[in-house]
């Protein structure tokens, strides 16, 4: 058995290890933060492929967006991307007194496809249902006291004010009852009924409860078969709630309900917030990173300089800020985690602007590249970290140029990329230098590797 002083020392050591480990992890985010001076080559825009699903309640009354809502939908995502593009400065100070800010998160959500589904049940994310699987066993009905006693302890299961009872008497009459109190004694529960009991001869009792599918994955599984190649955003509704709400429980699925009731601007703010959850960000009332305020008041309230931030992940009416480490964390995820990279446009080759290397350049952070890379004549590129190359993109090493590979070059989608090509020049990429001594040089270090390449020049 541990003595208290020894236990205290163990707790202290574990706490210090956690703090130090967490500090190191947060320090590693620095290289991924896209600051204004950082090149779009090393810190490109992350484009997350987004498939929008509009779930209609009825064919003739969608109670949602519909096929005529594409302009509205485009405006929603334009606003969302505006929030992520034009970062306002933070309204709340941090404990270190530093203003933590970058002007653009370089995170975008790009609509790939819009699909429509007619599904009355799937549309209804929060509704009231009758629970028939677990009927309540009636032990006593006291009409004078207006109480019904049943077997079992039910207080913890029926805690919402809107929960109600359905009773049937011996004559088959059905009555819906609401209760003002549940008292428990032993293994019994007594409901104090608000309405007058019509009969003491009750033969059946079930109950109504809220069914909340806001965060359920059922629509994602039903309509995408659990697809993990895009972020699927479902727009739905609710027969019970009149306000807009949403949930982003996974990187692959997001629900937004009652968008048509929430106001277009507020709806875009809600969508931006829930999208933040899908890309790995948490609420700011408990700061996820050390460049966030220690406290952030929650509630749909105005931002101010004392207690309520303007963070997209807060509950405020002016969501237009993310901290550098929030942004860096997302960039780290979508640059190093293959399952996250596969949700982006990282495999779409961009043939309009090759990356040209001049001088001696070292790439010391993991990178995602969608263009050709050209090591210009007599220049050097050293790749020290994993590098994802889009399908059809290649690395061209011109005459007298040098490529040093100390990291892994690969395509995380499992597709082939063009590989490493020695050439006279990028314009004459199908020709070699006239003299062998002018050939470019490729050095593959023992820590380096080249995968999924059509052609590799060792």
Q: Both 326 and 365 in a single domain?
A: no
Cβ-contact 309, 321 below 8 angstroms: yes
Taking alpha carbons only, the member of 103, 81, 80, 77 closest to residue 90 is 103
Q: Would you call 421 helix, strand, or coil by DSSP?
A: strand
- CATH number for the domain spanning 320: value is 3.40.390.10
- Quick one: pLDDT band at residue 392, thresholds 50, 70, 90? very high
> Do residues 275 and 232 make contact, with C-beta atoms less than 8 angstroms apart?
no
Q: Examine residue 346 and state whether it is found in any structural domain, yes or no.
A: no
Give me the count of residues in the chain.
458
CB 197, CB 237: distance < 8 Å? no
72, 79 Cβ separation under 8 angstroms:
no
Q: What 3-state DSSP class applies to 420?
A: strand
Indicate whether 342 belongs to any domain: no
Domain annotation covers residue 18 = no
- CA dist 194 and 157 (Å) reads 19
pTM: 0.86
| 97 and 237, same domain (yes or no) | yes
Lowest mean pLDDT among 69-73, 296-300, 400-404, 436-440: 296-300
Residue 131 sits in the same domain as residue 230: no
Average pLDDT score, the chain: 91
- 306-364: pLDDT as tens digits: 899 999 999 888 899 999 999 999 999 999 999 999 999 999 999 999 999 999 999 99
Q: Which of 265, 300, 334 is the last residue of a domain?
A: 334
pLDDT of res. 262? 75
Q: What is the pLDDT of residue 340?
A: 98
- Residue 328 shares a structural domain with residue 384: no
Nearest to 334 by CA among 176, 138, 107: 107
Whether residue 348 is contained in a domain is answered as no
CA distances from 433 to 122, 397, 398, 439 (A): 63, 11, 8, 6
Instruction: Report CA torsion sign: 285, 30, 107, 303.
Output: positive
The whole domain housing 230 covers 33-124+215-334
Q: Is pLDDT above 80 for 159? A: no
Residue 145 pLDDT level (bands cut at 50, 70, 90):
very high
**166 confidence band (pLDDT: 50, 70, 90):** very high
pLDDT in tens, 67-94: 999 999 999 999 999 999 999 999 999 9
Q: Which of 210-224, 364-378, 444-458 has the lowest mean pLDDT?
A: 444-458
Q: State the alpha helices, DSSP H only, in 125-228.
A: 218-224
Q: Are strands 408-410 and 449-450 parallel, antiparallel or unpaired?
A: parallel
pLDDT of residue 256: 97
Same domain, 156 and 197: yes
* Residue 17 forms part of a structural domain: no
DSSP bridge partners of 129: 209
Q: What is the DSSP letter of 12?
A: H
The Cα–Cα gap between 329 and 280 comes to 8
In a domain, 264, yes or no: yes
* Structure token pair of residue 224: 């995408």
φ, ψ at 8 (rounded to 5°): -60, -40
Domain count, the chain: 3
How far, rounded to the nearest angstrom, does the alpha carbon of residue 207 sit from its chain's CA centroid? Answer: 35
pLDDT score recorded for residue 162: 64
pLDDT band, residue 155 (cuts 50/70/90): confident
Residues 382 and 363: beta-carbon distance below 8 Å: yes
Query: Which of 180, 211, 242 lies at the terminal end of a domain, its last residue?
Result: 211
**Whether 160 and 143 share a structural domain:** yes
Average pLDDT over residues 430-435: 93
Tokens coding 22 = 């967490």
- At residue 366, the pLDDT reads 98
Give the tens place of pLDDT for each residue, 1-57: 334 343 333 333 333 333 333 444 778 899 999 999 999 999 999 999 999 999 999
Residues 382 and 444 occupy one common structural domain? yes
The CA R_g of the chain, rounded to the nearest whole Å, is 30
Q: What is the CATH number of the domain that holds 155?
A: 2.40.30
232 sits in which H/E element: strand 231-236
Q: What is the mean pLDDT of residues 395-420?
A: 97
Shared domain check, 319 and 300: yes
> Does one domain contain both 201 and 77?
no
Instruction: Compute CA distances 67 → 58, 76, 115, 117, 392, whole Å.
Output: 13, 15, 9, 11, 35
| Residue 406 within any structural domain of the chain | yes
Residue 90 token pair = 């933070």
| Domain end residue (candidates: 211, 242, 270) | 211
In percent, the amount of the chain with pLDDT more than 70 equals: 94
Residue 362 included in any domain: yes
DSSP per-residue letters across 355-372: EEE-SEEEE-S-EEE-S-
231's CB contacts (< 8 A; 6+ apart) are 48, 49, 50, 51, 109, 251, 252, 253, 254, 275, 278, 343
Query: What is the pLDDT, as a whole number, of residue 5?
Result: 40
Distances in Å between the Cα of 335 and the Cα atoms of 32, 157, 245, 367, 387 are: 9, 44, 30, 6, 9
Same domain, residue pair 448 and 366: yes
Task: Assess whether 225 and 327 both reside in one domain.
Answer: yes
Closest among 266, 293, 251, 259 to 98, alpha carbons compared: 293
Same domain, 328 and 412: no
Q: Which residue has the higher pLDDT, 435 or 16?
A: 435
Let me know if 84 is exposed, middle or buried by CB neighbors in 10 A (0-12, 13-18, 19+): buried
Q: What sign for the dihedral angle of Cα 340, 342, 345, 347? A: positive
Higher pLDDT among residues 15 and 111, named by residue: 111
> Is the distance from CB of 268 to CB of 80 less than 8 angstroms?
yes
242: which 2 tokens?
């009149």
Closest CA to 401 of 371, 423, 370: 423
């Amino acid at each position: 058995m541990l003595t208290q002083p020894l236990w205290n020392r163990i707790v202290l050591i574990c706490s210090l290890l956690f703090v130090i480990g967490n500090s190191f992890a947060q320090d590693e985010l620095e290289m991924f933060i896209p600051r204004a001076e950082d090149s779009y080559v090393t810190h490109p825009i992350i484009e997350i492929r987004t498939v929008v699903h509009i779930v209609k309640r009825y064919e003739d009354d969608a109670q949602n967006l519909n096929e005529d809502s594409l302009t509205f939908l485009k405006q929603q995502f334009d606003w969302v991307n505006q929030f992520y593009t034009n970062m306002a400065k933070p309204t709340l100070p941090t404990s270190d007194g530093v203003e933590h800010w970058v002007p653009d998160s370089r995170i975008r959500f790009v609509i790939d496809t819009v699909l429509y589904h007619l599904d009355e049940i799937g549309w209804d994310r929060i509704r009231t249902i009758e629970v028939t699987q677990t009927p309540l066993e009636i032990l006593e009905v006291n009409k004078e006291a207006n109480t019904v006693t049943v077997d079992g302890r039910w207080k913890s299961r029926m805690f919402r004010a809107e929960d109600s009872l359905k009773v049937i008497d011996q004559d088959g009459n059905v009555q819906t009852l609401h209760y003002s109190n549940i008292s428990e004694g032993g293994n019994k529960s007594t409901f104090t009924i608000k309405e007058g009991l019509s009969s003491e001869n009750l033969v059946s009792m079930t109950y109504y409860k809220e069914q909340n599918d806001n965060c359920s994955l059922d629509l994602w599984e039903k309509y995408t078969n659990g697809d993990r190649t895009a972020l699927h955003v479902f727009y739905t509704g609710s027969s019970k709630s009149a306000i807009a709400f949403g949930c982003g429980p996974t990187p692959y699925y997001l629900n937004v309900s009652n968008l048509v009731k929430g106001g277009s601007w507020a709806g875009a703010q809600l969508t931006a917030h829930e999208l933040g959850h899908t890309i790995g960000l948490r609420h700011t009332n408990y700061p996820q990173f050390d460049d966030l305020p220690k406290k952030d008041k929650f509630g749909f309230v105005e931002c101010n300089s004392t207690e309520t931030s303007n963070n997209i992940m807060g509950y405020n009416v002016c969501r237009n800020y993310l901290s550098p480490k929030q942004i860096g964390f997302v960039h780290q995820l979508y640059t190093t985690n293959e399952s996250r990279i596969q949700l982006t446009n990282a495999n779409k080759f961009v043939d309009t602007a090759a990356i040209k290397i001049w001088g001696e350049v070292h790439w010391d952070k993991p990178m995602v590249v969608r263009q050709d890379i050209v090591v210009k004549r007599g220049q050097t590129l050293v790749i020290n970290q994993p590098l994802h190359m889009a399908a059809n993109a290649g690395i061209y090493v011109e005459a007298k140029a040098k490529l040093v590979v100390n990291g892994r070059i690969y395509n995380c989608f499992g597709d082939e990329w063009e590989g490493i090509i020695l050439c006279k020049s990028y314009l004459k990429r199908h020709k070699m230098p006239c003299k062998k001594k002018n050939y470019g040089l490729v050095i593959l270090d023992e820590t380096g590797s080249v995968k999924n390449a059509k052609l590799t020049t060792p």
